Structure 1
Amino acid sequence: MANAASGMAVHDDCKLRFLELKAKRTYRFIVFKIEEKQKQVVVEKVGEPTESYDDFAASLPADECRYAVYDFDFVTAENCQKSKIVFIAWSPDTSRIRTKMIYASSKDRFKRELDGIQVELQATDPTEMSLDVIKSRAY
């Protein structure tokens, strides 16, 4: 595990699902998980377009790290409908140190695989990725 930063593969399904979210708006969100034994990032859960932000937040485990993308819709001050893809590196304080290190060292490489991310958040508890935080970063 000495070379954790470059040793984590990204499963093709991750890129495929992300493209579907970005181009076709097939999903509201995608949660990604690192499978340590296989040394790769895989899709853990996808959210239907009808699911809410609360559904998304509830799908992140309270004591394990995850990567996630969320398709955030909003209306600008000029009354324009917009959407931004938000990448969230979820790393709760209660997760294992080793796991946090693996997720931190693999994040940039994984993010490069997902072309089209417009906002990035690092969150250690739900308040750091609340809708208000996302709104303030998206505008």
Structure 2
Amino acid sequence: MANAASGMAVHDDCKLRFLDLKTKRTFRFVVFKIEEKLKQVMVEKLGEPAESYDDFAACLPADECRYAVYDYEFLTPENVPKSRIFFVAWSPDTARVRSKMIYASSKDRFKRELDGIQIELQATDPTEMGLDVFKSRAN
């Protein structure tokens, strides 16, 4: 079903990989890319459970927009292990204006397809989605 605002459909694989991350913890992160020619959101990269935050950040191109989900694990002040699923809307200042508009207009509908997102981050440069940001938002 295409998004009325941007005409972007969501590939079934996006929802399946997100469910794998959320329920089975098969992945640490999933990076999604809008294929403009296909008018569809697709899975671009899957991060293995052993991959780190730095591996995740390295997957986001410096001059192109992406969506991503990241399973952030942390310890509470009481030393209880927890995790939060973050949705990251990556829209660097150097990306094409058309691309930023398409990602912005498709975001809400795409996010609704991924049931279980706990925290959303908008980021235009790496400092806006650093580990310190994840940590402060997770608690």
Q: TM-score range by the shorter chain?
A: over 0.9
Q: Which runs of at least 4 in structure 1 moved beyond 3 Å after TM superposition? A: none
Determine if contact 1:18/1:114 at 8 Å carries over to the other structure: yes
Determine if contact 1:6/1:109 at 8 Å carries over to the other structure: no
Identity %: 82
1:109-128 aligned at under 5 Å gives the runs: 109-128=109-128
In structure 2, the residue matched to 1:15 is: 15
| Other structure's SS at 1:98 match | helix
In structure 1, the residue matched to 2:106 is: 106
Determine if contact 1:5/1:109 at 8 Å carries over to the other structure: no
Give me the TM-score of the superposition, normalised by structure 2.
0.96
| Other structure's SS at 2:5 match | helix
CA RMSD of aligned residues (A): 1.0
> How big is the shift at 1:64?
0.0
Structure 2: where are the runs of 5+ without partners? Answer: none
Determine if contact 2:6/2:102 at 8 Å carries over to the other structure: no
Give me the TM-score of the superposition, normalised by structure 1.
0.96
2 CA distance for matches of 1:4 and 1:54? Answer: 35
> How big is the shift at 1:79?
1.2
1 CA distance for matches of 2:98 and 2:4? Answer: 11
1 CA distance for matches of 2:129 and 2:52? Answer: 14
Instruction: Return closer, same or farther for 1:86/1:98 CA change in 2, 3 Å cut-off.
Output: same
| Other structure's SS at 1:108 match | helix
How many positions carry a matched residue from both structures?
137
Structure 1: where are the runs of 5+ without partners? Answer: none
| Other structure's SS at 1:7 match | coil
1:88-99 aligned at under 5 Å gives the runs: 88-99=88-99
| Other structure's SS at 2:89 match | strand
Instruction: Return closer, same or farther for 1:104/1:56 CA change in 2, 3 Å cut-off.
Output: same
Deviation string, structure 1 residues 11-44 (Cα, Å, up to 9, x no partner): 0000000000000000000000000011010000
